Amino acid sequence: MDTTPAAVAGAAAFTWFGMVLAISFLEAPLKFRAPGVTVPLGLGIGRLVFRALNIAEAVLALVVGVAVATGSPTTPVGVLTGGVVVLLAVQLGAVRPVLNRRSDRVLAGEDAPRSRAHLAYIALELLKTAALAALGASALAAV
């Protein structure tokens, strides 16, 4: 892969990786342990934080995609880029709407049961972080 696009793709992938780790695996579970944070309050905060994260992820996916497309990517970089974009698309297009409907119900005062979609989102986050780490390392190996 060409040096400059590889550096941009690697930097964007590792930035994205760090954001997902910080928000999904640190902030999200800890906010519900803070004193005085109720489930509706935590869900309200979570929706705002994840909306911002998902916007940042979409921008970073675009940056990675453009860098990879213009940089004569190796096969692993191309495959990993496609995989990360697909994982994000599934999260945003299929899983987030289900989670949003559940959180709407909880915020409206309903006692909604836990959703399996939440487990699907976590599984996708785990896959995405692994793919982002591999993508960042693969891209930077060309620098």
- pLDDT score, position 76: 97
What pLDDT, in 10s, does the model give residues 28-82? 999 999 999 999 999 999 999 999 999 999 999 999 999 999 999 999 999 999 9
CA atoms within 13 Å, Cβ hemisphere of 25: 14
Q: What is the pTM of this model?
A: 0.94
What pLDDT, in 10s, does the model give residues 95-108? 999 999 999 999 99
pLDDT over threshold 90, residue 114: no
State the amino acid at position 40 in one-letter form.
Answer: P
- CB of 58 closer than 8 Å to CB of 91: no
Vertex 41: Cα angle to 113 and 43 (nearest 5) = 50
To which residue do tokens 């793919």 refer? 131
- pLDDT score, position 59: 98
